[in-house]
Structures are given as C-alpha cells and as structure tokens.
Amino acid sequence: MNLLTKTGLLIAALMLITIAFTGSNRLQILLYRVMPVSESVVKQYELPARTDWRPIGEKQISSNKNPNARQVTIGRALHTDTHGSDEISTVIAPTFEVDWTTEKDMFITEGPVFDSAGNIYFCPILNGSDALLVSIEPNKGQRRWAIEGFSWGCGTPYVVIDPETGEDILYLGTYDRAMAVTTSGEIIWDVPTGLPKLNRDVLEPNKHSFGMNYLAKYDAVIASMGDGSVYVLDRKTGKALLDKPFVMPGAKAPVNNFSLPEAVAKAANQDSIHMFGGVDQDQDVLSAVLHGAAGEKQKVTNFFSIDSNSGRIWIAATLPDEADGNIDGWSESAALYGLDLLKTEQGYQFNINSVTEVPGGTASTPTVSADGKRIYIANAFDTVYAVNASNGEVIWSIAVGNKVTGSLVVAADNNEVYANTKTDIVKLFDRGDHAEKAWVAKLDMFDPGLFQTNFNALGAEVGANGIAFTATVGMLVGKMKFPFKVGAGFIDRKTGEIKYFVEGGEDSVSSTVTGPDGAIYIGNSPLRRVLARVILGKENSPQPVMGGVTKYKAIHNELIVRDALWAAAGRAENAATLDNADVVEQDIFQIRQLLEQVQRTLPVAVAEGVMDDSFAQEITQEVAQLLLTISPEKQVLLNSASKLAQLSDRI
C-alpha cells in the first residue's frame, strides 16, 4: 500500500470519527450500522478491601415512633422506604455473581421489593398470564404464588410492618383496584379505588400506578397515578378516606426527549412482544414506556414520598396548562407539590401547602431527608435542588453535569446525597446553604469497543459499606442511550472507586435493590437494549431481550460478615461521642440490624467454604453477647466498637 493510499484511508477514518462525535444523530447511527463494532470486554476485579468510610456526628432520624419510620434493611417500597431514600441500614454484598433470572416473559418497570424473610414481590405490566402481583423465593427464583388481575401497571407494592403485630403485609394499588395481601398470598381486603374501571383494549399509559406508599400519621396507604389521581385508603380495612380521589393540578407534559419512528417502534415491539402477551400487537407499548420513563405525556411521572415526621406528601407533577403562557393542553412547566391530608368535621381532604416550580419538569421522585426538613429533587436538565420542607423555598441548587435519571439517593449520615445521572453517579455534600461536589464515580467497568462508552444504567442504592449500582457499555447518540452489555457493581462510598463489577443480567428502567442476603436484584425492563438491537443491529447486542427478575448472588460471604462488623464498630464508636439520646437509640437499633445480618450470614459463609467453622462459632458467641449487653452508656459503646473492629480485622 503506497503512501497516498494510506493517507487517504487515514483521512477517511478521521472523517468517520468526526461524524461519529459531531454529526447529526442520523449520521452517527448510519455510521455505527455500517462500521464493524469491536467487542467491549469487562475488567477483572480483585476482592475489595474494607472501606474507610465512617459515620461522623449525628445522623438524621425521624421523630415518628412507627416501625415503618425507622431505617430499613431491605427495599420495602419503590425507592426503598416512605421517604424515597434508596438507603438501607445494613451492608451490601461487596462481591457477587449472576445467579438466576426468572419470570423472563414479564416486563417489570418498578420493583421488586422484599419481606423480612427475603421473599420477593413485583408487579409486571401487560403480561400474557394477567399476573397482577407475583411472589418468588430468593434461592432459586421459583414462583411462590401469584394474584391474577389486569392493570396497565400497578407499580410497586409496599411491604408494611404492621404497627400492632410486627408482621409484614403487602399493599398493592392499581388504577381501579387496591388490595392488602399476606406474605403467603392470602387477600385481606380487595376494594375498588373510586377511579373508572380500566379498558384493556385501549392503551392508557397515563393510568399507570407508581406504587403504594404508607402514611403513618393516619395509618393509611396512598397511591398516585400518571394522570394525577391520588387515592387514600385505611390500611386495616381498605375503606376510602376521601369522598372521591384527589386530582393533582396540571396538564400532560409534552415530549421533550424523542419519539420513535413508526418502523422502529414496530420492530422494537416485535422484538419484545413475548413480554406483552395478550396485548394487541398494533399497540405501541414500548413508546408508551419510553415516554413514561422520560416524564412525558403524563401529569405525574414518578413515585412520590411521604415525610414520616409531619405526614406531608411530596409529589412531582406538572403546573396548570396556563402556567407556561400557552393554553394548548400541554404543560411545559412542572413543580414539587407539598400536600397535607387534613381531617376535618366534614371528613378528609387534601390541602396543597407549597408549590415549588422545577424548570423544565422532572422525572425524579422527590426524596425526603430522614428528619423531614429538606426535599431533594432534580429538574429535566442537569440541576439538583434542596427545598425547605416547611415553605417550599429552594435552599440551594447545583449542576451535576447531566440529566438526573431515576431519583436522588439521600443518606441519613454525613449529609450525603447521590445523583444518578444519565451517564454517571455523583456524590454531593449538603453543606446547609450550598452543595459541594465530593466525587464523580469513574465508570470504567468495560474496556469499550469502537465508538462505545461506559455509562450508568439505574438508580443506585446505598448501604452501610458502599453503593450498589448497575451500568452498561454501549453507544450514546444525542439524548439516546443504546446499551450493548450490562452488569452490576459495588462502589466505595468514600472514594467513588468501583471496587467490584460483573457482567451479566439485563437492562432495566427500574431501580437497583438489595435483599436481606446482601444480594442485588433487578426488575428487568430492557427498553433501551431493545432499541439498541433495532436501531444499531442485533449483532451488536445479540442476547435476546428478557424480562423478569435477575439476582446477583453474594459470593465470598465472609466479606459481608467483615463489612457488617466494621460498620457496627464505626456506628458504636461514633455513637459514644454523641449526647442526643434519640440519635444514640437509633444508632443502637442500626447496630443490632448489622449484627443480625452477621448472624444470618455466618452459616452461609461456612457452607460456602470461605470461613472456618470454629472462627464462625467464636464470632457467633461474641455477637450474641454484644446483642445482650450493648447500651447507650459511652464506655459500653466504646468497648463494643473495639471488639467488633478486632473481629473484623481478623477476616
């Protein structure tokens, strides 16, 4: 090959690369389809060391004594708890591997959630078997039971701890039907919601329910719909507390992301039709999911949160049509609404206490701080806001570099807030009157192939030792994300460094959740990977798309024991420095949660062959003694911290 030919090829290659990164979306997609795409390879990770992250000072706590207002060890609701914190008080498995995927023909956009025994619950949308609520066991993913019924989407059930009995009870709300169910599948009550009955022959995505939440103030359950309808039911009986469902102000949000061309939509629906059995094949289900996930064509576009301290309900919805200056049936503006449910002589009614405009709208769930003083939300662009819960005023805002997807993770400790953006995970510190960026996680899990890049997939979940996340490698084209390969990982809470990552599983628009075994569970809804296969070619992502639930099981369970002991030691050491009796009491409660996790995990570690039985017995005896003797007395806390740290050091 002569010099002229080589120079010509080099110039052509440079032109193609320029088009790829600066050209129009259509030109980029055309280039990606005709150019051979090299395969991305996942990196290999060593077993992670213990984290240096520690709690400092008083953590935020709820003033409500209801057991559902305490920190949780498992995801009991969409975004984990009533506050939408996406935080658990125990540790997440720092090492894991893909274990199983079950119920592969079910498209799951929210959930799953767990009961105290680790059983799993989720609501698929538009599945062929008309399974409204499904329960599976955690070891093999085998179905335990299912309740039949039709819904355009019933969101996520809430697994409430019955304040009187301490038992777990599931509360499920669709658009026109709500029910209470025992963990064994027995229906306690099944009631109409007061909303019109669904028509299964007409695609109505704005009648999607985002799931149930729990209002401890009145011992009631609440559900919010895409069309702005909100109903409130007595938890014990299912009786409606409102004369009729409340309707949020506003109009439908317009399409600001992108719409699928007809041919693309048709091919995408065909590639995923096995997950929407029984639905008319002419209906464009995936476009409906796409717009819902992007916060479009609905008044309400994500879950909502309830402050357990005040009982105030926080919903992100659109402003009235006229607020944007153009009365056209669409609302270009959105807001964070603070609502109070009032009990009057005439009955219950909603009062809108505050309205905080969110520029460009939002698709994120409002997240309430544990003490109920601040609400965190993101707009449709790249900005995170902290809002004063008493009056709805913005305290501070900060740009995080890209659109926040899903919801913000708000930790009880150290004023930490985590933003899941379109491409990254960003840690912020709330410094009172301003925010400070701590780190941006370096998502470099894969060595990417030609034109490919690593990017974030789902909202993360934070635990006492780190952060569980899911991410992918693929192509970014304008506002579109096209994943080719996916996986799950573990990030150090202090540094933002990826400590572990494995390839496998499926893409999702749901959320990352962990069970009582420390394992990661994902509800599969492969919207973006379907589009990648249709638009960029199946050869780039050849694995057929699948729904269901995927489990990444814990391996090296001795590391869960190590991290739980270390987290309990740090909690005890910090509690010994505090004078706030209420906070110390909650710290001791969390220490007990961590030590109970140690007790559950030790037999698993021994059976796995990663821990000697005699050492496990020694830890068991020490933990049992500590559970009996731990108290708020400072020296007891310091002695407990020392013993726990020593045990952790030996693993």
pLDDT at res. 278? 60
CA 561 to chain centre: 25
Instruction: Specify whether the CB–CB gap between 121 and 114 falls below 8 A.
Output: yes
Q: How many CB atoms lie within 10 A of CB 384?
A: 23
Q: What are phi and psi of 505, to 5 degrees?
A: 90, -155
DSSP for 374-437 reads EEEEE-SSSEEEEEETTT--EEEEEE-SS-B-S--EE-SSTTEEEEEBSS-EEEEEE-SSSEEE
- Give pLDDT, residue 8: 43
Closest CA to 111 of 145, 68, 158: 158
Average pLDDT over residues 91-120: 96
Strands (DSSP E) contained in 226-346 are 229-234, 246-247, 305-306, 313-318, 334-344
Name the amino acid, one letter, at 239.
K
pLDDT, tens digit (0-9, with 9 covering 90-100), for 424-479 = 999 999 999 999 999 999 999 999 998 899 999 988 999 999 999 999 999 888 77
Could you tell me which of 356, 175, 365, 349 has the C-alpha nearest to residue 246?
349
Chain-centre distance for alpha carbon 343: 32
- Return the amino acid letter for 326: N
Residue 475 three-state SS: strand
Q: Residue 226: which of 214, 211, 212, 208 has the closest Cα? A: 208
Position 3 confidence tier, pLDDT thresholds 50, 70, 90: low
Phi-psi region of 357 (alpha: psi -120 to 50; beta: other; left: phi over 0): beta
Cβ count near 434 (within 10 Å): 12
pLDDT the model gives residue 568: 98
Mean pLDDT along residues 615-633? 97
Average pLDDT over residues 390-416: 94
Mean pLDDT over 528-533 rounds to 91
Q: Residue 347, class by beta-carbon neighbours within 10 Å (0-12 exposed, 13-18 middle, 19+ buried)? A: exposed
CATH number of this structure's domain 67-555, picked from the four choices 2.130.10.10, 2.70.98.50, 1.10.150.120, 2.30.130.10: 2.130.10.10
Q: Which two tokens stand for residue 451?
A: 């034109």
Q: Are strands 347-358 and 41-42 parallel, antiparallel or unpaired?
A: unpaired
Determine the residue type at 50: R
pLDDT for residue 19 is more than 80: no
The mean per-residue pLDDT over the stretch 482-494 comes to: 96
229 strand-pairing partners: 247
Amino acid at 8: G
* DSSP-assigned beta bridge partners for residue 58: none
- Position 515 scores a pLDDT of 94
Cα 156-101-87 angle, rounded to 5 deg? 45
**Confidence class of residue 324 from pLDDT cuts 50, 70 and 90?**
confident
CA gap 55, 421 in Å, rounded? 25
Inter-residue contact 510 to 528 (CB < 8 Å) = no
Instruction: Answer left, alpha or beta for residue 381, where phi above 0 means left and psi between -120 and 50 means alpha.
Output: alpha
Is the Cα torsion angle 629, 632, 636, 640 positive or negative in sign?
Answer: positive
Look at residue 290 in the predicted model and tell me its pLDDT: 79
Name the 3-class secondary structure at 622. helix
Model confidence at 152, pLDDT cuts 50, 70, 90, reads confident
What are the domain boundaries of the chain?
3-35, 67-555, 559-649
Whole-number pLDDT of residue 254:
80
Torsion, Cα of 230, 235, 237, 242 (10° steps): -30
For residue 20, the model assigns a pLDDT of 47
pLDDT score of 426 = 97
Take residue 608 and report the two structure tokens written for it: 């796995």
Whether the bond between 112 and the residue before it is cis, its omega within 30 degrees of 0, is yes
Is it the case that residue 13 has pLDDT exceeding 70? no
Between 414 and 381, whose confidence is greater? 414
Query: What is the Cα 33 distance to its own chain's centre?
Result: 33
Spatial contact of 43 and 445, defined as CB atoms under 8 Å apart: yes
623-629 long-range contacts (CB < 8 A, ≥24 apart) are 623/595, 623/598, 623/599, 624/599, 626/595, 627/592, 627/595, 627/596
What does the alpha-carbon distance between residue 425 and residue 429 come to, in Å, rounded to a whole number?
Answer: 14
Structural contact between residues 284 and 276, judged by C-beta atoms closer than 8 angstroms? no
Judge residue 360's burial from the number of C-beta atoms within 10 Å of its C-beta, 0-12 exposed, 13-18 middle, 19 or more buried. Answer: middle
Grade residue 209 by pLDDT with cuts at 50, 70 and 90: very high
User: What pLDDT is recorded for position 10?
Assistant: 42
Residue 18 has pLDDT above 50, yes or no: no
Is residue 328 scored above 60 in pLDDT? yes
Reported as a pLDDT band with limits 50, 70 and 90, residue 238 is: very high
Whole-model pTM: value is 0.94
For the segment 556-573, the average pLDDT, to the nearest whole number, is 98
- How much is the pLDDT for 151? 84
- Residue 279 is predicted with a pLDDT of 64
HEC string of 345-369? CCEEEEEEEEEEEECCCCCCCCEEC
Q: CA-CA distance, 340 to 219, in Å (whole number)?
A: 14
State residue 280's pLDDT score. 66
Q: What is the mean pLDDT of residues 256-274?
A: 83
Residue 488 pLDDT > 90: yes
pLDDT at 16: 45
- Rounded CA-CA distance 184/189 in Å is 14
* DSSP state, residue 200: T
Distance of CA 104 to the CA centre of its chain: 20
pLDDT, one tens digit per residue, over 280-297 is: 667 788 888 877 777 688
The answer on pLDDT for 381 being more than 50 is yes
Check residue 33 and give its pLDDT. 67
The answer to whether the bond into 366 is cis (omega within 30° of 0) is no
Average pLDDT over residues 20-48: 75
pLDDT band at 385 (very low <50, low <70, confident <90, very high): very high
> How high is the mean pLDDT of the chain?
91
For residues 648 and 464, what is the distance between their CA atoms, to the nearest angstrom?
A: 15
At 633 the pLDDT is 97
Determine what percent of the chain is predicted with pLDDT higher than 70.
93
565 pLDDT tier (thresholds 50, 70, 90): very high
On whether the CB atoms of residues 308 and 83 are closer than 8 A, the answer is yes
Sorting pLDDT into bands at 50, 70 and 90, what band is 36?
low
pLDDT of residue 17: 47
